[in-house]
Amino acid sequence: MENIKIVYTEELNTFDEARKRELYLKTAAGRRLLKNKLNKPR
């Protein structure tokens, strides 16, 4: 597990908000959003 690195994080105010966001990011739309966000040049 030494080759694992964190590439994206978000902070939310409540557990409920975080759970809703997690569930959204696991949908097709959420995966597309992350893919677009992570593939943009920095």
Contacts of 7 (CB under 8 A, 6+ apart): 38
Quick one: tokens of 23?
């569930």
Please calculate the CA angle 34-9-28 and round it to the nearest 5 degrees: 25
- Say what the pLDDT of residue 40 is: 79
Cα–Cα distance for residue pair 19/34, rounded to 1 Å: 16
Summarised one tens digit per residue, pLDDT across range 1-42 is: 789 988 889 999 999 999 999 999 999 999 999 999 988 776
- Say what the pLDDT of residue 42 is: 60
Q: What are phi and psi of 6, to 5 degrees?
A: -80, 130
Cβ distance 19 to 13 under 8 Å? Answer: no
